């Protein structure tokens, strides 16, 4: 149970980092 929670958390963090990276690229591309 706890292990699954940790894996889910890691996936969420990776997704969040990927989204912020894409947003940063969009901001840099707009400037």
pLDDT in tens, 19-29: 998 888 888 88
Q: In the predicted model, what is the mean pLDDT of residues 2-11?
A: 87
How many distinct structural domains can be found in the chain?
1
User: What confidence score (pLDDT) does residue 1 get?
Assistant: 67
Which residues form the domain of 15?
Answer: 1-30
Cα–Cα distance, 16 to 8 (Å, whole number): 12
Q: Indicate the pTM of the whole model.
A: 0.53
Instruction: Share the mean pLDDT of the chain.
Output: 86
User: What confidence score (pLDDT) does residue 21 get?
Assistant: 86
Cα–Cα distance, 12 to 25 (Å, whole number): 20
In this predicted structure, the answer to whether residue 31 has a pLDDT above a threshold of 80 is no
């Amino acid at each position: 149970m706890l292990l699954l929670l940790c894996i889910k958390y890691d996936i969420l963090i990776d997704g969040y980092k990927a989204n912020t990276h894409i947003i940063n690229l969009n901001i840099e591309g707009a400037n």
